[in-house]
Amino acid sequence: MDILAPTTILDGLRTRLLGQHIVLYETIGSTNAVAKTLAQQGAAEGTMVIAEGQTAGRGRLGRSWLAPRGTSLLFSLIFRPDLPIRRAQGLTMICGLAIREAIREVTGLPAQLKWPNDVMLRGRKAGGILTEVSSHGEDLDYAVVGIGLNVNLPVNALPAEFRATSISHELGHAVSRVGLLQVALRHVEQRYSALQDGKWPVKDWAAALQTLGQRVELHTEQGIWQGLATAVDAEGALLLRLDSGQLKRVLVGDIVPQGEAKQHR
Ligand code: BTN
């Protein structure tokens, strides 16, 4: 098992901002929760909270995130972008794209994204992103983007119904979490700087989504719909063509490939 230590992460980290200030825990409740507290206390943009293990890892839609200690990358980044709150999904998009690029660069695996923020390897979930924001009025005050990535995780360590996979499972050998993290942070920083320059990432994001063009079942708080995932709009909402022909726009939900049970985590 490779050890996460600030010195090894900083050694060879080619970023100017992201991860230059590291708060590392052996075990913590949730890196997102800590990062939010630090952000409220004025922590600098780019601060990274990272842990070997979490006792209360958070997933989307109130779920928990499970990862045996030492197997994964579990980290949260603090951003203070000059963006309106309705554009916060842009941060999730750039982080998803950057993780995908890092996995491809480091391992050669053809990572994909699944709407809205899953990282997929060969059709199974290998990672997830949870973005939590604080705003004043229409503007973002700060955003915490939490990333959980199954790196060297034996898939039988998670319940089979999660249908999860990991990088080591797909590759057949372990990879350096530190090396992968360094490359991921570099890609996030490049994409963040483009975002700050006004380049909206939705086109790249849509191209990376394995979801588009598939018949899917969409689970939302308002109900379950089936149809063809046709496109995403500028804010990241999914446009679903229902069998009735109606186009449904959904901002928050879960996609389940038709014929499969809903994935939990
Ligand atoms: C999801 O797919 O539901 C999103 C999962 C996000 C998990 C990560 S692990 C690091 C960070 N800290 C948390 O508590 N959650 C995110």
pLDDT tens by residue, 110-119? 999 999 999 9
Q: What burial letters (b/e) apply to 227-248, b meaning 16+ CB within 10 Å?
A: bbbebbeeebbbbbeeeeeeeb
239 CA distance to ligand 1 middle (Å): 25
Class of domain 215-257: mainly beta
Q: Where exactly does CATH 3.30.930.10 map onto the chain?
A: 6-208
- Using the structure block, give the residue that is written with the tokens 């590392």: 24
* Contact criterion met (CB below 8 Å) for 23 and 47: yes
pLDDT at 256 over 90: no
Work out which ligand 1 atom sits closest to the CA atom of 59.
3
Burial of 113 from C-beta contacts in 10 A (0-12 / 13-18 / 19+): buried
Which of 51, 165, 74 is CA-nearest to residue 114?
Answer: 165
Selected from 3.30.930.10, 3.90.550.10, 3.10.310.30, 3.40.120.10, the CATH number assigned to the domain covering 6-208 reads 3.30.930.10
Rounded mean pLDDT of the chain? 94
Residue 17 structure tokens: 């901002």
User: Among 23, 28, 52, 65, which is best to mutate for testing ligand 1, by the most ligand atoms less than 8 A from CB?
Assistant: 65
74 CA distance to ligand 1 middle (Å): 7
Per-residue pLDDT averaged across 165-177, rounded?
Answer: 98
38-58: pLDDT as tens digits: 999 999 999 999 999 999 999
Work out which ligand 1 atom sits closest to the CA atom of 31.
12
Q: Where exactly does CATH 2.30.30.100 map onto the chain?
A: 215-257
246 CA distance to ligand 1 middle (Å): 33
% pLDDT > 90, the chain? 91
pLDDT at 264 over 60: no
Which of 89, 96, 95, 121 is CA-nearest to residue 108?
Answer: 121
pLDDT at 261 over 60: no
